[in-house]
Amino acid sequence: MQSVLRANKHVAGRIRTYSSIAISANDEIAYSNDTIKSNTTSTSTSKVDQKQASQIQHLLQSIPSSRLAQSYKTTALYITASQAVEVEKNDQIRRELIKLREQRDYISLVKIMEIWSASNIGNMVEVLGRETITEYMSEMIELGHLSVVKHYDVCPILKSLAIQNDTGSYLKNHKFTPMEMITKLRKIYNNLLYDSKSGDFMYDFERRKDIYNSKAATGHKLNVGDFENLMQMELGHYKLDLASRWFKLFRQYFGGDKGFGKYMTPKMWTMALQTEAHGQNSHWEAKGSNLATYKINPLAGRVKSRRFKRFENVKFTDFQQDSIWPDLTLHFHSALIQHFGYKGDLDQMKRYIEFIWGVDASGKLVGKKLDVNDRLYPDLNFLKNLFYALAYHGEFFAAIKYVNDFKAVYESIKERNRKTFWEKVFKSAHHSTTYSMDAAFQYFLKESKYSGKCSTLAEAQNDPNFDYEGYLQFIDKLKKERRDVIGHVWAIVLNDDEIVFSNYIYKRYLSYLKGGYEDEAEQSYYNYMTSLLKQYQRHHTGPNSFTRKAGQGFEPAPNYDDNIRVLYGEAIRSLISYKGKNKLLGQLEPLIEEWAFDEEMKEELAEWVGKRMPYFRKDLETKRLHYMLKLREEDNEKSEQFLSLL
């Protein structure tokens, strides 16, 4: 650590420039003409209109096949004319690809490059050039990462739909990240490395130690940008073992273990920490505490743990060189702080923060404050990662205080994308205050030094040595703490117009309401649905709105209104169930009539309630019988007392 701090004294130096970008591939390589035609006219990610599809088809027909290219070289009679035709076609293809790139139509761009690379990789490299291919691939990998982000953003909505439809298909069909874009990118890289008809794949076992170990190798080599892109691609969809493999191969081909550092880009240093040293909190496993038992591992099913070991390809001594520190970015330092946070080494983390940003463990400025134009001046994403690194081991309140103090020192932090920051805060608030009744009971037994043999609450209630009143006070304290913390964060989100609507926060808060923590449950549901209606009015756009159309050179507006409607449907169903279980069946029809989103929802809810009404009535009858039985027992007890007096 001392050497890390010493090296960082050179942070103020100049930044070197890097040109680094990349590509990707997979195992299905061969394409028939029919496949090409069908693939160029359909995509599950974005619908291409007929005119655009026609343009793409025309462009693909312009791409010379390898057989045609060979005939140009061997037919002397037509060589001059054929060369002129080829140059003209190459220019046309290049112009069309530039146009697609300017329009940010990466769906069409990746489709064309996938088919072109399979048809004639040599021509693609000749026309575009290796650096341009790497640049295009870098941008398309960003699109692939965006599809993963969108997937996780919509997961709460998919889960809500599954709950409303009484199906477990959500868990079955949406466990893994979307792979369509990643598969196409892998194919392009694979076609760059091997003959597309050979069937060789870059992730085959025999190529684990040498990616060029193939009789079908094309002779094209991966550059630094390609390795950076391949790491980014696999890291972006949680395949840490594959990202680590690319980093290992990069070290092997560029300088070896002792010389690779001079080829590393700042982004690669950051990704090395994220891959090998727990430097990315979205990969962290969420575990329960003494009060709750749960385990959520985002890497489950994605990383083959047998083949992946942390710190196998990177050591802290690798970046303790004075020459690299002037180039390391805020993202790198953020990853290093997350590494300390995952380990639970918060003292080391705060010493590092004090060394770089001058803020000590108490949140006070004790060193030099960075200028607002300094490249290491913190942003909101840095604050988000700092907060989660501090809160990961249960220090939620301490994390809030420290981050607030840090922000008071660096008051000029640009607050872009506040939504993701508050999603992290809400997630931490949920995990830090979650408890289960069974775990809380066992915790209370241990803390109260209960010496009895009762293992359940029902048994303990009959034991005079069990402090039942103390237990109830303990549960009330846990409930109040959860209510206060989540309620406070929820109020901030509601009252801050700069925080964009979040599927995660609204879905998480609805789950909290369904947990029964609020004393005024009905009113809480009404307040929640009212807030959703306000969000709907704020974000609603028609299906033909210009901002909802793809292929306009910008990212279409999210379907906030559709997501809001789904959450609203779950909320009103939850309120109906609450009323049904609390003997308020007469209020269900007026509730639907007044609070249903529209006529379509009224019909859906009427049908939904109709299926559940027999259960509500049965539950009501059971409660009535229990009540009558209790009255009869009380009457018998009073009669016995009266007779005893006689």
Q: Are residues 84 and 215 in the same domain?
A: yes
Average pLDDT of the segment spanning 317-328: 81
Given a cut of 60, whether residue 174 has pLDDT beyond it is: no
Q: Span 545-565, mean pLDDT?
A: 69
Residue 365, beta-bridge partner list:
359
The residue whose two tokens read 């309401």 is 513
327 within domain boundaries: no
Nearest in space to 311 (alpha carbons), one of 267, 347, 279? 279
φ/ψ of 223, rounded to 5, equals -95, 180
The answer on pLDDT for 504 being more than 90 is yes
pLDDT band at residue 556 under the 50/70/90 scheme: low
Q: Which residue has the higher pLDDT, 437 or 316?
A: 437
- Asked, for residue 2, whether it belongs to a domain, the answer is no
- 314 and 431 in a single domain? The answer is no
Residue 10 — very low, low, confident or very high, per pLDDT cuts 50/70/90? Answer: very low
Rg (C-alpha) for the chain, rounded Å, is: 31
Question: Are 38 and 183 members of one domain?
Answer: yes
User: What confidence tens digit (pLDDT) does each residue in 124-168 have?
Assistant: 999 999 999 999 999 999 888 887 788 788 888 888 888 887 654
Q: Residue 16 contacts by C-beta under 8 Å, 6 or more apart in sequence?
A: 326, 327
β-pairing verdict for 286-289 and 292-296: antiparallel
Question: Structural domain of residue 290, as residue ranges?
Answer: 20-319
Same domain, 196 and 53: yes
| Cα distances (Å, whole numbers) of residue 382 to 230, 233, 280, 369, 386 | 25, 22, 12, 16, 6
Q: 217 or 39: whose pLDDT is higher?
A: 217
Last residue of a domain, one of 482, 499, 516: 499
The pTM for the full model equals: 0.81
* Residue 91: pLDDT band with limits 50, 70, 90: confident
- Predicted pLDDT of residue 557: 64
Check whether 474 has a pLDDT greater than 90. Answer: yes
Average pLDDT over residues 411-427: 90
User: Is position 3 within any domain?
Assistant: no
Residue after which a domain boundary falls, among 457, 480, 499: 499
- The DSSP call for residue 370 is P
Question: What mean pLDDT do residues 305-313 have?
Answer: 69
d(CA 405, CA 407): 5
pLDDT classification of 349: cutoffs 50, 70, 90: very high
Q: What is the pLDDT of residue 46?
A: 42
Dihedral of CA atoms 66, 214, 313, 357 in degrees, nearest 10, equals: 0
The residue-averaged pLDDT of 65-73 equals: 45
CA distance 242 to 230: 9
The answer to whether residue 441 scores a pLDDT higher than 80 is yes
Is 296 a domain residue?
yes
Look at residues 402, 395, 422 and name the one whose alpha carbon lies nearest to residue 490: 422
Q: What percent of the chain has pLDDT over 90?
A: 54
199 and 74 inside one domain: yes
Least confident range from 173-182, 363-372, 417-426, 460-469: namely: 173-182
At residue 40 the predicted structure's pLDDT band, cuts being 50, 70 and 90, is very low
Q: What is the mean pLDDT of the chain?
A: 83
- Whether 615 is in a domain gets the answer no
Q: Which of 240, 301, 227, 302 is nearest to 273 (CA)?
A: 240
Report angle CA 66, 72, 73 to the nearest 5 degrees: 95
Residue 620 CA to residue 584 CA, distance in Å, equals 9
Of 261, 296, 319, at which residue does a domain stop?
319
DSSP per residue over 542-579, as a string? -TT-GGG-SSSSSPPPP-HHHHHHHHHHHHHHHHHHHH
Handedness of CA 333, 335, 337, 343 (dihedral sign): negative
Residue 233: predicted pLDDT: 95
- H/E element, 262: none
Looking at the fold, whether 452 and 305 belong to one and the same domain comes out as no
Query: 43 pLDDT band (50/70/90 cuts)?
Result: very low
* Mean pLDDT score, 419-434: 94
Count: domains in the chain = 2
Encode pLDDT of 357-369 as tens digits: 999 999 999 999 9
The more confidently predicted of residues 107 and 338 is 338
Q: Give me the pLDDT at residue 51, please.
A: 52
| Burial state string for 455-469 with b = 16 or more CB within 10 A and e = fewer than 16 | eebeebeeeeebbee
Residue range 223-241, pLDDT digits in tens: 999 999 999 999 998 999 9
- Average pLDDT rounded to a whole number, residues 254-261: 91
pLDDT of residue 642: 57
Asked if the structure places residue 239 within a domain, the reply is yes
- Check if the beta carbon of residue 521 is closer than 8 Å to that of residue 578: yes
pLDDT of residue 276: 92
Structure confidence at residue 436 (pLDDT): 92
State the DSSP code for 47: P
Indicate whether 541 belongs to any domain.
no
- Over range 384-388, report the average pLDDT: 96
| pLDDT at position 15 over 60 | no
Please check whether residue 387 lies inside any domain of the structure.
Answer: no
Give 587-632 pLDDT, tens digit per residue: 999 999 999 989 999 999 999 999 989 988 888 888 878 778 877 7
Q: How far is CA 520 from CA 160, 512, 529, 573, 602, in A?
A: 23, 13, 15, 17, 25
- Write out the two tokens for 210: 């040498």
